[in-house]
Structures are given as C-alpha cells and as structure tokens.
C-alpha cells in the first residue's frame, strides 16, 4: 500500500490529531509515516522527504535501547515513554509512543522545564487513555471500535487496491467456559490472540471484536489468493491443543473471507459478505475457511425466505406425514415410522434436515412436533391393533419443558395404547442436561411408551447411554448397512451391536436396507426389524391399505433368492 493510500485510510484517531497544535505523528507497522499534525509536518520538513519513515523523523530511535521500546509497543500494544536528545543541538525531548490502529503513534513534548515535564505526563495519560479506548483489555488487540474506524476509513478502496476482510470465529469455545470456567476461557482467548498474531505479516492487522470473535484486515494485490493463504494458516495454527491448567482443550477456528472492492466497497457490504462466508464455513463442518461467492448469498437468501415461510406453514396446512414400514425378518410388517415433510407452495417438498434446524432455532419445533405426533397417532388407530408407530423427537422438542405431559395428553386424546407409540431420539439429545434427560426418559418409560436410540454409531456411541437410559430399541444407522455385503468391518460392527443390544434386553432395527443380500445377512445375524427402500418407500397414509394387501401376498424373506435383489415394494 502506498503512503498516499495509507494516509487516506488512516483511522479516526489519526485524523483527530492531524489538526492539533501539538507534535503528533503516526506510522504503519513498516514504520512509514501515514499522518501527522501540521506543526509536526513543518518542524520536520516531512514534505521534502521522498520516503518519510520513523527513522528519518527520529533517527535517535535507531539506538538499541530506544528501538527496543518501539518494538515493545508494536508487539504488546502498551504505551512507552522515551527520552531522546537531538544529536546536533542536544535538546532533550520526550516521546510518548503508543499503539495505533495501523501501527504506532508518537506524541512529542520538550522536557527542558518543569512545565514541559508536567505536560509530558499529561500526554502520557492521554496516550494511555487512547490505548485503553481502542484496545481490548484481555488480549491487547485493537477492539471493535478501532476495527470499525479503520475499515470504514479504508473503504472504498481505490482502483487497483485490494483489501481482504477475514471474520474469525472460534469453534468449540463454549464448552471450555462451561466445563473449565471463564478463567480458563480467558486464558484460551489470550492464547488465541497470540496464535492469530503469530501468522500475520506486513500489512495484516488483527482485532478482537467480541467474545470469541476476531477479525483480520489484509492489504494485498493478489486477492483472494493471499487472503486464502492467510486464512488457511489461521485455521492450521488452531489445530494444536491449548493447555490450560495442565488440561489440553481443542478450540478450532472458522474463517469467512470477503475482498474489497469485488465483494463490496462499503463497510456494511463487506461485513455482510464476510459474515456469509463465515456462515458457509460453519455449515460445511467448521474448522475451515471459505471465500464469499454470490452463490452463498443466494443460498442464504433462500434460507431466510424459507425461515419466514416456516412460521405460517403449519397454519396453512403445508406439513404432511409419510410412513415407512418396519418389517421383521419373517417378512411381517409390525408398524411404520412417521416421517415429517414440508411441501412449500413454490419451492416444493423440503427435506426435514433443512427445515427442522430452522424450526428449532426459531422455537417452532414443539408446535410442529405436536402436530406430527397427533397426526401419526390418529393414523395408527386405523391400522391393525398390533402395529406400532414410530415418531422422531428433535433435540429441541426433547429438551422443551412439558414434553412428557404433552405426550400423555396426546395418548389420552387419541386413545392409542402407550405401547403402540415408539419415540425415536438421537444421541445428540443426550449430550446436555443428563439428569433431566434421564428423568424424562424414565417418565416416558413409566407411561409405557417405547423409546428408540436412533442413528446409533454416528455420534459418540457411549456405552454409558445404554447402561443408564431405558431404551427399548437401538436403530443401526444406514452408514453401516450400505456396505454390509462386502465390508468385513461393517459386518463386525453390526454383529457386535446386535449382540450388545440383545445382551441388554433391547431390540435392534437396521435402517437403510436396500438389497435382498443386506436383508438376508441381517436376518441370519438376528436383527429384529428391518427398514429401508428394499422393504418399502415412505408413503402417504392413503396408500397404506393397498400396500398391506400387496405385501401380504409376497414371498417370505427366507425364501427370497439372494442372488437377485427385489425392487422396493410400492403401493
């Protein structure tokens, strides 16, 4: 960045001093002069210098003792007072050196009288107050105020210049505060700031915005390549654990990148682009960097449109339930799983993995889940009396107060026996509020409702869950079923899960059964129930009767030719 660019993009604090009668000057991290007061400009004939640097203005600072003070201020962010003497005249001067947004600032005062010594102390206090107002107390990094001032001052960038903004959010930081305390969290934040500083180069500036949010502004011509290089370095530097009180904790970083002027040349535009890129990094699995693209904006806008539509979807009758059969190895249907769907009037059918997180975030899942539960139970009353209906409970529903009362009221309202209702929860539900979770599960168990642990094997699969929680069924995730015919490791895992569950008095359901070979292997291994496209696709309630008649006339599984997989049974 040229001196002209640096001066133009100088932050507000520089410009406040520019018109003062005092001797004030500002320098970037390469020690090039970026701004100074009119008195300073005249006193040091700045305009006559081809390349005005700190060392041209104050050559006395090149001495080892004084140069180390400059480096200390730049590294620590804390102000220092330095006494120097003019090599020609011998006049003594006091320099207050302090951290500024883009580098350092210097306030100069003569110190040949008691008046000026008092004046110098006043300037020192002013420099300290300025530092405190513009820097984060915990990490020493420039704060949000200084970040906003510098970014606003830098925009719009001139033609040919490229500025990259990186929004950084720490991953898995909250558990550190929750489990080890805020003191440990503060220690991690200090170390995180140091790691960010450690990968920065020339014309790269870091800030702490709030909490575990940081930002970096980078001036480079080759964008976004240079920003992506730095972002990858930032992600990588967080891969090593933080050691706090002898305990290793892992806190990663996600980074969103936006480049001016390509992605926006105004403050709000660039901030929004970087935020969207950060959201994409989080959504893609965290611990990674993403560069803003227009496609991200379109996806986010569509997502926000869906969120707004979700609020009226229930009242406008846009939700519906499909049912997928649960089948025993003897080829008998024993029930159906109820699968919630959303048919948007313009977008079409939206899968639950898209809209359920939105509903949870907006506090709508309890109401939507109640509708699905009651709808499924009413439909199950039309089936043979031994058929069960399985209904999924989202984490937000499970943790919502009054769940057990709501389920008990639904059973009474519909008149369905409790043992015909199977509630499916995932392991992720059990990661928080363990005591309350156990109470909820025990209450449901006392009601006579069956409880299934869904997607077993895809999260933490802690055996303590199986020991402490009253599950009736374990559902093996389809990840282990899809390669079952050829993968010995999958076979070993599935065989072990079945044996473990049976040893604990639990049943096992295998999800994602798509071939006759898979069905036959699971049957021989003792799996209690099968579910998947081989046995039946999800279907509307209106076609269940036709499906049951067609299914009753098929050949039992034990007599199915294993060499030629059958197509899924369609109503």
Residue 103's CATH number = 3.30.450.20
Hey, which residues does 321 pair with through a beta bridge?
A: 340
* 429/363 same-domain check: yes
Distance CA 164, CA 218 (A): 5
* 264/309 same-domain check: no
* 309/240 same-domain check: no
Domain contains 568? no
Domain contains 427? yes
Domain contains 569? no
pLDDT at 563 over 60: no
Listed residues 134, 166, 189: the one ending a domain = 134
* 280/321 same-domain check: no
Q: Are 100 and 131 in contact (CB under 8 A)?
A: no
318: tokens are 């846009």
Over residues 52-80, the pLDDT tens digits come to 889 888 888 888 878 888 888 877 677 78
As a whole number, the mean pLDDT across the chain is 84
Distance CA 390, CA 423 (A): 6
**What's the CA dihedral at 473, 479, 485, 490 to 10 degrees?**
-80
Domain contains 564? no
The bridge status of strand 473-476 relative to strand 289-291 is unpaired
Domain contains 467? yes
Q: Are 534 and 568 in contact (CB under 8 A)?
A: yes
Q: Are 220 and 164 in contact (CB under 8 A)?
A: yes
Q: Residue 207's pLDDT band (boundaries 50, 70, 90)?
A: very high
Range of the domain at 151: 144-292
Percent of the chain with pLDDT over 90: 44
CATH code, domain carrying 231:
3.30.70.270
φ and ψ at residue 245, rounded to 5 degrees: 60, 35
* 102/212 same-domain check: no
Listed residues 106, 134, 162: the one ending a domain = 134
Residue 47: CB atoms within 10 A of its CB come to 8
Number of domains in the chain: 3
* 161/122 same-domain check: no
Distance CA 31, CA 60 (A): 14
Listed residues 260, 292, 324: the one ending a domain = 292
Over residues 87-143, the pLDDT tens digits come to 666 677 888 888 776 788 898 865 444 434 444 555 556 656 666 677 888 888 888
* pLDDT score for 19: 47
* 244/324 same-domain check: no
* 321/281 same-domain check: no
- pTM across the whole model: 0.57
CATH code, domain carrying 469:
3.20.20.450
pLDDT at 227 over 70: yes
Q: Which of 283-287, 368-372, 419-423 has the weakest average pLDDT?
A: 283-287
* 100/158 same-domain check: no
Domain contains 298? no
Over residues 274-310, the pLDDT tens digits come to 999 998 999 888 899 999 988 888 777 777 788 888 9
569: tokens are 């049974």
DSSP secondary structure letters along 293-360: -HHHHHHHHHHHHHHHHHHHHTTTT-EEEEEEEEE-TTS-EEEEEEEEEEEETTTEEE-HHHHHHHHH
Over residues 401-413, the pLDDT tens digits come to 889 999 999 999 9
* 122/150 same-domain check: no
* 388/506 same-domain check: yes
99: tokens are 């951290």
Domain contains 565? no
Domain contains 541? yes
* 477/345 same-domain check: yes
Q: Are 453 and 488 in contact (CB under 8 A)?
A: no
């Amino acid at each position: 960045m040229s001196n002209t660019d640096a001066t133009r993009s100088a932050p507000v604090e520089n410009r406040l001093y520019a018109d003062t009668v005092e001797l004030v000057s500002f320098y970037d991290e390469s020690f090039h002069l970026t701004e100074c007061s009119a008195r300073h400009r005249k006193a040091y004939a700045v305009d006559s210098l081809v390349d005005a640097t700190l060392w041209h203005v104050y050559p006395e600072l090149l001495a080892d003792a004084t140069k180390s003070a400059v480096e200390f201020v730049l590294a620590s962010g804390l102000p220092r007072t330095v006494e120097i003497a003019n090599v020609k005249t011998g006049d003594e001067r006091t320099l207050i050196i302090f951290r500024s947004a883009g580098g350092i600032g210097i306030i100069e005062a003569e110190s040949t009288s008691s008046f000026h010594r008092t004046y110098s102390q006043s300037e020192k206090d002013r420099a300290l107050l300025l530092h405190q107002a513009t820097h984060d107390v915990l990490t020493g990094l420039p704060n949000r105020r200084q970040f906003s001032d510098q970014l606003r001052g830098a925009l719009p960038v001139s033609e040919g210049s490229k500025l990259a903004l990186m929004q950084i959010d720490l991953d898995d930081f909250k558990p550190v505060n929750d489990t080890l305390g805020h003191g440990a969290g503060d220690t991690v934040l200090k170390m995180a700031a140091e790691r960010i500083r450690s990968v920065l180069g020339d014309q790269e500036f870091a800030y702490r915005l709030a909490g575990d949010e940081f930002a970096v502004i980078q001036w480079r011509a080759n964008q976004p390549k240079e920003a992506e290089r730095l972002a990858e370095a930032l992600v990588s530097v967080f891969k090593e654990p933080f050691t706090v009180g002898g305990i290793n904790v892992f806190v990663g970083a996600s980074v969103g990148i936006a480049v001016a002027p390509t992605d926006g040349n105004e403050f709000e535009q660039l901030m929004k682009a970087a935020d969207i890129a950060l959201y994409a990094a989080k959504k893609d699995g965290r611990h990674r960097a993403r560069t803003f693209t227009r496609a991200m904006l379109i996806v986010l806008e569509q997502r926000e449109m869906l969120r707004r539509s979700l609020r009226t979807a229930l009242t406008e009758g846009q939700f519906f339930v499909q049912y997928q059969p649960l089948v025993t190895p003897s080829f008998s249907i024993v029930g159906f799983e109820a699968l919630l769907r959303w048919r948007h009037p313009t977008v079409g059918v939206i899968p639950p993995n898209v809209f359920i997180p939105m509903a949870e975030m907006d506090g709508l899942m309890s109401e939507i889940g109640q509708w699905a539960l009651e709808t499924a139970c009413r439909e199950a009353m039309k089936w043979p009396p031994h058929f069960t209906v399985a209904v999924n409970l989202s984490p937000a529903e499970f943790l919502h107060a009054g769940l057990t009362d709501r389920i008990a009221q639904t059973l009474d309202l519909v008149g369905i026996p409790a043992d015909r209702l199977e509630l499916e929860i995932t392991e992720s539900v059990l990661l928080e509020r363990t005591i309350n979770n156990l109470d909820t599960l025990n209450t449901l168990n006392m009601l006579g409702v069956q409880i299934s642990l869904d997607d077993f094997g895809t999260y933490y699969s802690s055996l303590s869950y199986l020991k402490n929680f009253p599950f009736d069924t374990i559902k093996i995730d389809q990840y282990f079923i899809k390669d079952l015919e050829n993968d010995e490791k999958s076979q070993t895992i599935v065989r072990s899960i079945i044996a473990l569950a049976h040893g604990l008095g639990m049943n096992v359901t295998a999800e994602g059964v798509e071939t006759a070979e898979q069905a036959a292997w699971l049957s021989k291994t003792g799996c209690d129930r099968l579910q998947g496209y081989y046995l039946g696709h999800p279907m509307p309630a209106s076609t269940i009767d036709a499906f049951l008649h067609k299914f009753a006339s098929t050949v039992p599984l034990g007599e199915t030719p294993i060499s030629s997989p059958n197509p899924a049974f369609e109503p």
